[in-house]
Amino acid sequence: MRTRSGSLYRSGGGGGETAMVGQKRKRSSLPPQYATAGDCCGGGGGRRKRLAGGGPDYLDELPDDLVLAVLSKLAASASSPSDLLSVHLTCKRLNGLGRHDMVFAKASPASLAVKAASWSEPVQRFLKLCADAGNLEACYILGMIRFYCLGNRSGGAALLARAAVGGHAAALYSLAVIQFNGSGGAKSDRDLRAGAALCARAAALGHVDALRELGHCLQDGYGVRRDPAEGRRFLVAANARELTLALAAAASHRPFAALPLAGGAGAGAIGCPLLSDFGWSLPEAEPHPANLFMADWWASRGVQATAKKPGLEAPAAATGDSDGGGELRLCSHVRCGRRETRRHEFRRCSVCGAANYCSRACQALDWKRAHKAQCVPMDRWLLAAGEAQ
């Protein structure tokens, strides 16, 4: 018989009648590392008590291989880091199996998209576990954070190289940028031919920025033999690839017929910067989580990448980090997040001298995104400075 509170009276013969009213639930005796997780597979936990009157706990009967397969599928489809963390808080068995290398190796890019505001040692340890398990995306994200944000050049470059060997297109392109700029070393450490080769490999995998960078290299003869026609072909391929990706992303939210043309859009419409060449006005693609992390990381530390308006100050103080102070500058493309590893590492805009870019791809994107309306020739800067005096 049950009371209103759910307590159970056992009915026995004679003096064997025992009351279970008011009996407190005993805590399971788990190790300290599992103090926050429930116990579904032993130790007298609450889950076993709740299932005592309703049947056996079938989770205990499943083999570990099957549970690992399920957890791997969950990790591959996780939409945020919390989806993986919630598994460890479920029970002792899932907490242990969730730490298997198979689960970390299958972690989705969305589950690895950590925020700069939540960066901590446990977050870095989580990314390191995923990278050690062979997750290429984790190798790339942690490598970029270590190389550009934490100042660990050798460790970051090693992780980027591991991801590049595995065929990660973004890691190949990032290593190409490092080779072009000689990042982490002296100016003499630049290797243009190696940068062009890495860029060609990333372009073969369909990386849009690599296609665009390789096109400009061929047009200018930068690290490769000059071939303007072939360079133009790569630039067209980059725009076509970008258009394909934008249409695929937009089609999941609205019908193809509803996508507006640039001619019919308002003057203040914001579209993908280079797709205007094809007459389209589509939302700009989201940057990679590693670039978002780096941009937020430096923004939280007061380092800005935007150039100041022309005619107000001298060009030396136009980018948040001045040359006179000896500080390092950010790439002026606000969605890049890369910062110089030595002074004067990034190339400047040849017209105004105020904007700095880590690559030609970032320069092309920022030109149509913002800098086209901000760029003012150097002589006008000097004229405005002379009139102010």
Cα–Cα distance measured from residue 213 to residue 197, given in angstroms and rounded to the nearest whole number? 11
Output the tens digit of pLDDT for each of the chain's 389 residues. Answer: 555 555 555 554 444 444 444 444 444 444 444 343 444 444 444 444 444 455 566 777 888 899 899 999 999 999 888 888 888 888 888 888 888 999 999 999 999 999 999 999 999 999 999 999 999 999 999 999 999 999 999 999 999 999 999 999 999 999 999 999 999 999 899 999 999 999 999 999 999 999 999 999 999 999 999 999 999 999 999 988 888 887 777 666 544 434 444 444 444 444 555 555 554 555 667 889 999 999 999 999 888 765 444 443 433 333 344 433 458 899 999 889 999 999 999 988 888 888 899 998 898 888 888 888 888 776 555 555 556 55
Cβ–Cβ under 8 Å, residues 313 and 272: no
CA 296, 300, 301, 306 dihedral sign is positive
CA distance 259 to 255: 7
Residue 53 in tokens: 């009157």
Query: Quick check: is 383 in a domain?
Result: yes
Read off φ and ψ for residue 155, nearest 5 degrees.
-65, -40
Strands (E), the chain: 9-10, 18-19, 347-348, 356-357
Of the candidates 79, 78, 81, 97, the one whose C-alpha atom is nearest the C-alpha of residue 37 is: 97
DSSP, collapsed to helix, strand or coil, labels residue 260 as: coil
∠ Cα 251 255 261 (to 5°): 90
Of 168, 213, 169, 170, which is closest to residue 195 (Cα–Cα)? 213
Task: Decide: helix, strand or coil at residue 38.
Answer: strand
Count of C-beta atoms within a 10 Å radius of residue 266 = 8
pLDDT, residue 274, reads 54
| Alpha-carbon gap, residue 172 to 138, rounded angstroms | 14
| Nearest C-alpha neighbor of 149 from the set 26, 296, 282, 277 | 296
C-alpha 389/C-alpha 381 separation (Å) is 13
Q: What pLDDT sits at residue 2? A: 56
Tell me the C-alpha distance between 328 and 306, whole Å.
14
What number of other Cβ atoms are within 10 A of residue 167's Cβ? Answer: 12
377, 380, 384, 387 alpha-carbon torsion, rounded to 10°? 160
Q: Is residue 94 part of a domain?
A: no
Residue 337 covered by a domain: yes
Q: How far apart are CA 172 and CA 296, in angstroms?
A: 23
Q: Residue 211 falls within a domain, yes or no?
A: no
**Residue 12: Cβ within 10 Å count:** 9
- Classify residue 346: in a domain, yes or no: yes
Residue 139: predicted pLDDT: 97
pLDDT for the residue numbered 131 = 96
Please report whether residue 360 resides in a domain.
Answer: yes
- Opening angle at CA 115, ends 113 and 120, nearest 5: 110
Total number of domains constituting the chain? 1
Q: What is the pTM of this model?
A: 0.75
Domain enclosing residue 372, as ranges: 289-303+329-387
Classify residue 258 by burial, with Cβ atoms within 10 Å: 0-12, 13-18, 19+.
exposed
369 belongs to a structural domain: yes
376 is a domain residue: yes
How many other C-beta atoms can be found within 10 angstroms of the C-beta atom of residue 103? 24
